[in-house]
Structure 1
Amino acid sequence: MQQRQLEENTVITLVSEATAAPSMHNAQPWRFRYETAEGLLLLRADPERAMPGSDPGNRALHIGCGAALFNLRVAAAHAGLDARTRLLPDPGDLWLMATVQLAEPGGTVTRGAEDDLVRLPPAIRQRHTSRHPFAEKEVPEDLQAALKQAAAAEGAALLFPRLWHVETVLDLVHDAERRDATDPDARQDLERWTRLGVEADIAVDGVPEYAFGPRKRDGKAPLRDFAGRRTVADRGSTTFEHTPHLALLSTSGDGPADWLRAGQALERVLLEATRADLATSLTSHPLESADLRTLARDPVSGAGQVQMVLRLGYGPRGPSTPRRSVPDVLDIV
C-alpha cells in the first residue's frame, strides 16, 4: 500500500461525510485526528457529549461513532482510497473508537469487500430522520432481504418482526415514555439536546424544533416527543400509521466492539434504505432500560442483543439537522 500523504482537503471531505451520521439526540459524540506522516485517521468518542441519564453505559455513543465510521469508509471508497480499519486498537484508551489507515491503493492491491460502498455516497446527504407519518404501505420482501444483507455485511442481523412482536415493541416504547416522564435524568438529557425558538436557527448540534415533526394525534408509530411538556409554536398534530413497519438491528455480542459494528451496520442499512426511496427514523427508547431491552429481542429465537429499532416506510424524509463544522471536530497534525 502506498503511504503518500493525502491532501488536507481530502481528509476534510472524508470527515465532513463522516459527521453526517445519525447519533442519539444528534449529540455528534465524535472527534477526529489525522496524523499526516502516518496517513492515520483516529476516531475518538467525546465524553463531554455522553448522556449519563439516557445512555449510562455509552452504548448509544458507540453506535453513533460506528455510524460515522461507516460514512468515513464510504467516503474513502468514493475517493479511491484504501481504508484499513481497526476497532478499539488500544485497550488502555477507552475513548479511542477506531483507527483508519488511509492510502492510495497500489497497483497490486485489491479493494475487495469495500468495492460496493462506492454506490452509497449520494445517500449520505439524502438520509434524514423523518418524524412524519408514513403511508400504510408494505416494504417489499426483496427490499427487506437487501436490507438484511446490508446488516449482515457489517456483522449484524436485521429482523422484520411479525405483527404480534411489533405490538410488543410498541408496548415497550410506551413503557419507556411513562418512565421518562418521571425520570429527571432522562428529561435533563432531552432538554440539553433540543433546540427551541431562536436557538434552533443557529444550532450546530442537537435536535431543532423544526425536526420534531407533528405531535401524534393517533396511530402507533414509535416516536420520541422531543418537545416533552414544552410548547412548540405551529407544530400541529396528525395521524400516524396504525401498522408501523419496524426492524430490529441486533448483534450476537453486547460489548463496545459490538456496538461499533452495530453503528456501521445501522448506517449501511439506512443508506441502502435511502437509495430505495424509503424514509426512516430510529428509536432506542425501549432499549435504554436493561429490563425493557431484554424483552425487545425475538422471543422465538431468543438470540441476539437488540441495538436499535428502525421505523421504515414511504413518506417525507424529514429536514436535515445541524452539524458542527469540520474544524470543530478535526485536528490535523
Structure 2
Amino acid sequence: MASRLDDKTVAKLVAEATAAPSMHNAQPWRFRFVTGERLMLLYADLERAMPRSDPGNRALHIGCGAALFNLRVAAAHADLVAETALSPDPQDPTLLAAVRLLDPVGRLGDDDLVRLHPGIQQRHTSRHPFADKAVPEDVQATLCEAAAREGAELLFPGPWHTETVLDLVRDAESRDVMDPGSDEDLVRWTRLGPEADIAVDGVPEYAFGPLKRDGKAPVRDFAGRRRVADRGTTTFEHTPHLALLSTPGDGSDDWLRAGQALERVLLEATLAGLATSLTSHALETRDLRLLARDPGEGTGQVQMVLRLGYGPRGPVTPRRAVGEVLDLA
C-alpha cells in the first residue's frame, strides 16, 4: 500500500493547480483526493459552465487542462511523479483526469517541470498595452517546443494571417452587439464596485485594464455596456504579436491537451519575461474557429489565441479557497 501524503501537501498541490487561467476566471474545476491510493481526481464543475459563450464546454475543458498542467508542475516541485490519465471513466464525462502521485524511487522525475514552477505564481493575464517590440525568434522557438511537448502546435502567424484573425475577433464583437443576450456569461462573471474587493472568482474591475482608444490588440472589454469608475483609455499595439494554439482533433481530450499545452506555453513565456493575455472571442463559434486556421495548411483546430509582448503583467485575480474545491476521501 502506498504511504500517505499529508493533507498540507495535498492542499498545496491543489492551490497551485488552481492558479491556472480559465475563461472569465470561472474556475470550473473540482478535485477529489483518494488518500489511500494517492490518487487526485479532477472533475469539471458544470455549475460554472457558460452555456452562451461555451455551449460545448470546450473552454471549460481547456481551463481544467491548464489546472492539470499546474498540478503536474507542483507535483514535480514536491518531488512527486504524477502518472496522469485523461478521461479515465467513460461512464462519467465530468471526471476529466486521474493523477496518481508517486514517490520518485525507481522513477524519473521531470526537471523541466520543476524549472517551470516559479512561473505559476508569476503568471497573470495582462489587459494592458505591450511595447512595440518583437518576440525574439529563439523565444518563439522555445514556446513552440513547449506546445509540441503536450501534443499541440503553436503558430506565430504572418501579417496576412494575423489580420485575418483580428478580423474574426471584430466579427465576433459585431455579433455580440447584434445579440442583446450575448453578454450574459460576461455579466455573470465580472465583479464591479465593492464586489470586486471581496470576489473569489470572476474578473474584478481592477483587472479589466484600460479601455482601448486605438490599436488592433484583441483585448476583450469586460465592462461591456456598463460604466466603470476611474477607468482611463489608451492606445494599444497597432501590430500585436499573436500566437495560435492548435490541436489535431477537436474532442474533449484534445481540449484537455490544449489546456496543458497552453499553460506550459504561458509559464515558459512568463519566465522569458513576456506578458500574456488570451482571447477565445473569435473561437467561441465553430464556423469562426475553422476560419482561424493556418491558411497555408488548413489543418488542425485552433483552440486559443495568445497575445504576447513586453509590458506590465496583470494583477493577481481572486481564487476560491482550497477547501471549496477539494474533497478528501
- Normalised-by-shorter TM-score class: over 0.9
1:266 aligns with 2:265: no
Aligned length: 329
The residue that corresponds to 2:69 in the other structure is: 70
1:104-158 deviation per Cα after TM superposition (whole angstroms, max 9, x unaligned):
122x2223xx331000111101100000000000000000000000000000000
Distance 1:294 1:313 in 2: 26
The residue that corresponds to 1:98 in the other structure is: 97
Matched to 2:224, the amino acid is G
Pairwise CA RMSD of aligned residues?
Answer: 0.8
Structure 1 position 103, deviation (Å): 1.9
Q: Which of 298, 320, 326 is matched with 1:302 structurally?
A: 298
Structure 1 position 185, deviation (Å): 4.0
Q: Which of 148, 152, 155 is matched with 1:152 structurally?
A: 148
User: Contact conserved, 1:124 with 1:271, CA < 8 A, in 2?
Assistant: yes
Structure 1 runs (4+) deviating above 6 angstroms are: none
The residue that corresponds to 1:133 in the other structure is: 129
Extract unaligned runs of 5+ from structure 1. Answer: none
**SS of 1:228's equivalent?**
coil
Structure 1 position 180, deviation (Å): 1.2
Distance 1:16 1:185 in 2: 34
Matched to 1:49, the amino acid is R
User: Contact conserved, 1:85 with 1:101, CA < 8 A, in 2?
Assistant: yes
The more displaced of 306-315 and 289-298 is: 289-298
1:256 aligns with 2:248: no
1:70-90 deviation per Cα after TM superposition (whole angstroms, max 9, x unaligned):
000000000000110000001
1:38-66 deviation per Cα after TM superposition (whole angstroms, max 9, x unaligned):
11000000000000000000000000000
Matched to 1:50, the amino acid is A
1:204 aligns with 2:203: no
Q: Which of 107, 110, 113 is matched with 1:109 structurally?
A: 107
Distance 2:181 2:81 in 1: 43
Distance 1:110 1:143 in 2: 27
Quick one: percent identity of the two aligned structures? 75
Q: TM-score, length-normalised on structure 1?
A: 0.98
Structure 1 position 35, deviation (Å): 0.5
Q: Which of 138, 142, 147 is matched with 2:138 structurally?
A: 142
User: Contact conserved, 1:156 with 1:252, CA < 8 A, in 2?
Assistant: yes
**SS of 1:60's equivalent?**
helix
**SS of 1:102's equivalent?**
strand
Q: Which of 307, 311, 325 is matched with 2:321 structurally?
A: 325
User: Contact conserved, 1:259 with 1:307, CA < 8 A, in 2?
Assistant: yes
Distance 1:23 1:68 in 2: 9
User: Contact conserved, 1:181 with 1:187, CA < 8 A, in 2?
Assistant: no
Distance 1:285 1:215 in 2: 17
Extract unaligned runs of 5+ from structure 2. Answer: none
Q: TM-score, length-normalised on structure 2?
A: 0.99
Q: Which of 169, 172, 185 is matched with 2:165 structurally?
A: 169
User: Contact conserved, 1:133 with 1:240, CA < 8 A, in 2?
Assistant: yes
The residue that corresponds to 1:56 in the other structure is: 55
1:191 aligns with 2:187: yes
The residue that corresponds to 1:79 in the other structure is: 78
1:232 aligns with 2:242: no
User: Contact conserved, 1:76 with 1:82, CA < 8 A, in 2?
Assistant: yes
User: Contact conserved, 1:54 with 1:185, CA < 8 A, in 2?
Assistant: no
